[in-house]
Structure formats: C-alpha cells, structure tokens
Amino acid sequence: MSTVRPTSVSHDITRRLLYGKYLLFQAKRAQAEPNELGVAISLLLMHDACEMVMRAVSDHLQLEKWDKFMDFWPRVKKLQNKELGHRSRSG
C-alpha cells in the first residue's frame, strides 16, 4: 500500500510550527523570572510547544488521529516503516 506524503509545508503548518517555536522562546524567558512560578510556567509552555509541533507534524504527514502523547510515535514509525532516530541503535 503506497502512502502519499506531502512534499511542501502549508502556510497553516508553518504558522503552527512558528507558534511552537515562540512558545519555547517564552518558556526560556519564564525560567529567568526570579519567582517560584517561573519553572512551572516554563514547563507548561514547553509542554504546549511540544504538543503544538507534534500536532502540526501529524497533520502534515496525515497521520491517524491520536489523543495521548505516546500514541504519536508509533504512528510516525508506521509511516516511516523504521525505528525513529532517537530510538534506533547506533553503530
């Protein structure tokens, strides 16, 4: 079964990826805050950025819908038909 993969990134996907990058920038700024909530705010922003990027990638690759964070990875692996780089053996 052949899968059609998008070759160019749409304006919507690009915008969402840039929003994710912006959230990471805001997370870095929040860590520098001299109050006790800085780290908590930073973690929440990083989580949101990660999910935004993952959902953009998922939409771009036209993956099956997923609800849990860890459901994303098997769908990417299935599409790529190989183990992802962070989990593959080096050597």
Number of domains in the chain: 1
CA pair distance 82, 58, nearest whole angstrom: 17
Mean pLDDT score across all residues of the chain: 86
Domain that holds residue 18: 11-80
Looking at residue 1, its pLDDT comes to 46
Residue 2 lies in a domain: no
Residue 89 lies in a domain: no
State pTM to two decimals.
Answer: 0.76
Residue 1 lies in a domain: no
**pLDDT higher than threshold 60 for residue 87:** no
pLDDT tens digit sequence for 10-50? 999 999 999 999 999 999 999 998 888 999 999 999 999 99
Q: Provide the token pair at 1.
A: 């079964």
Q: Please provide the DSSP assignment of the chain as one string.
A: -------S--HHHHHHHHHHHHHHHHHHHHHTSSSTTHHHHHHHHHHHHHHHHHHHHHHHTTPPP--SGGGHHHHHHHHHTS--TTTSPP-
Residue 6 lies in a domain: no
Residue 24 lies in a domain: yes
CA pair distance 9, 26, nearest whole angstrom: 24
Looking at residue 91, its pLDDT comes to 42
Residue 86 lies in a domain: no
Residue 87 lies in a domain: no
